[in-house]
Amino acid sequence: MRPPSPSIPEREFLLSALKQNLRLDGRDFLEIRPIQLSFGPELGWVECSLGKTRVLAHIDAKMVKPQPERPFEGVITIHSEISPMASSEFELGRPSEEEVTITRMLDKVIRRSDVVDKESLCILAGQRVWHLRLTIHCLSDSGNLLDCACLASIVALKHFRRPDVEVIGEEVTVVCSNPFFVQPLEPQLDYLPSLQHEPTSRAPIPLSLHHTPYCFTFAFFSDASINPVLDPSLLEQRLNEGLISIALNAQRELCVVQKSGGVPLEPADVLKIVNFAVQKAKILDTFVESRLREDWQGRSVEVR
């Protein structure tokens, strides 16, 4: 079943507004909706919202045997589910076109662009490595799920701390058994399991990341007089006639550029969009860093 497309008057209204350089939510064409990052009690639990689009990302780590062909590398898997909870357009079981795009894009941004230093996840070569599981839940879709999901995943990776281990010979001991160990100061969270801490336990350590890519999606329309729109809202996303997604880090390195079909663009316009994304990435990077720092300061690391 195809989802019902927006009605004709809605479409006409949006397009005529865009032609007059107006967006329905009052934003500038190249303005991102307000970003909110909230962190859960657990490390590596991040809820990211872009306007009313909300995505939850969660990371957990466990020890596994490495793949035989890559004995020195840890494993990262991404589980994403876009359930009907996000929007009635999604069905359980059968992935929609959009869902395929989002999962493939996440895979490219997080895994293929080598965000996490996989070799640092190795505990004992050929015997034990860390397996990171990134789970993404789309809580509500009001346009541009992709950027929101990418941001949530990246921030979760930066927020996460993995337990420290001690290797003596072939013996692996977890010296900080659970990231729960780090507790926020809020008093109501006393339901957390009380842990038997070893006297030698150490603080969990952050993942070593090569870089932090951010994803930006621009929508454009077949009418040449309409400029590209950054961070499309739900209606804009449904009515656009072409998308270009750019993932890049604050060091001016592109990780993924994806414009699959849609309205053709002048090469110069593509480069203009890319250069604009470069500036945005820097701003977003400082924002993310400051939010992470704030959160970190609010937590106490109990090392006895």
Partner 1 sequence: MSSRIEILNAGGYRSDGRRQYELRTINIDLFPQGSAADGFATLSHGLTQVSVCVFGPREAKLRSQTFHDRANVNIEVGIAAFSSSERRRRGRGDKRILEISQTLKSTFDPVIQSSLYPRSQIDIYVQVLQQDGGLLQACINATTLALANAGIPLTDFVCAVTSGVHSTSPLLDLTLLEENDLPNVTVAVMPRSGKVSLVTMETRLHVDRFEEIFRLAGEAGKIIHAEMKKAVKDRTERLVAPMQSLGRPATGENDY
Q: In the window 189-228, what residues touch partner 1 (CB under 8 A)?
A: 211, 222
Which one, of 87, 63, 91, lies nearest residue 75 by Cα? 63
Rounded Cα distance between 136 and 86, Å, is 12
Q: Are 113 and 213 in contact (CB under 8 A)?
A: yes
DSSP 190: T
Among 125, 192, 271, 303, binds partner 1 (CB under 8 A): 271
- Pair of tokens at residue 192: 């957390």
Rounded Cα distance between 144 and 39, Å, is 21
Among 101, 120, 127, 178, binds partner 1 (CB under 8 A): 101
Identify which of residues 169 and 267 has a Cβ nearer to partner 1 in the complex: 267
Among 46, 149, 215, 278, binds partner 1 (CB under 8 A): 278
One-character DSSP codes across 109-122: IIIITT-B-GGGGE
Does 9 sit near partner 1 (CB under 8 A)?
Answer: no
- Pair of tokens at residue 218: 């621009």
Query: For tokens 């809820």, what's the residue?
Result: 47
Cβ of residue 216: shortest distance to partner 1, in angstroms? 13
Does 258 sit near partner 1 (CB under 8 A)?
Answer: yes
Q: Are 174 and 110 in contact (CB under 8 A)?
A: no
Q: Which stretch binds partner 1 (CB under 8 A): 38-46, 66-74, 142-150, 264-272?
A: 264-272
Does 126 sit near partner 1 (CB under 8 A)?
Answer: no
The contacts of residue 2 (CB under 8 Å, 6+ apart) are none
Does 248 sit near partner 1 (CB under 8 A)?
Answer: yes
> Applying CB under 8 A, what is the total number of residues that bind partner 1?
39
Identity of the residue numbered 44: G
Q: In the window 67-96, what residues touch partner 1 (CB under 8 A)?
A: 95
Cβ of residue 195: shortest distance to partner 1, in angstroms? 39
Using CA atoms, how far residue 91 sits from 2, 55, 84, 103, 143, in Å, is: 11, 17, 6, 15, 17
Identify which of residues 49 and 237 has a Cβ nearer to partner 1 in the complex: 237
Cβ of residue 257: shortest distance to partner 1, in angstroms? 4
Identify which of residues 95 and 206 has a Cβ nearer to partner 1 in the complex: 95
Rounded Cα distance between 246 and 253, Å, is 11
Identify which of residues 93 and 169 has a Cβ nearer to partner 1 in the complex: 93
Among 116, 136, 219, 256, binds partner 1 (CB under 8 A): 256
DSSP 5: P
Cβ of residue 10: shortest distance to partner 1, in angstroms? 18
Identify which of residues 197 and 282 has a Cβ nearer to partner 1 in the complex: 282
Among 7, 188, 260, 297, binds partner 1 (CB under 8 A): 260
Among 9, 225, 261, 297, binds partner 1 (CB under 8 A): 261
Rounded Cα distance between 126 and 67, Å, is 8
Maximum distance among all Cα pairs of the chain, rounded to whole angstroms: 71
Across 214-225, b (16+ Cβ under 10 Å) vs e yields bbbbbbbbeeee
Among 58, 108, 137, 291, binds partner 1 (CB under 8 A): 108
**Which residues contribute to the site for partner 1 (CB under 8 A)?**
1-2, 95, 97, 100-101, 103-104, 108, 112-114, 211, 222, 241-242, 244, 248, 252-267, 270-271, 274-275, 278
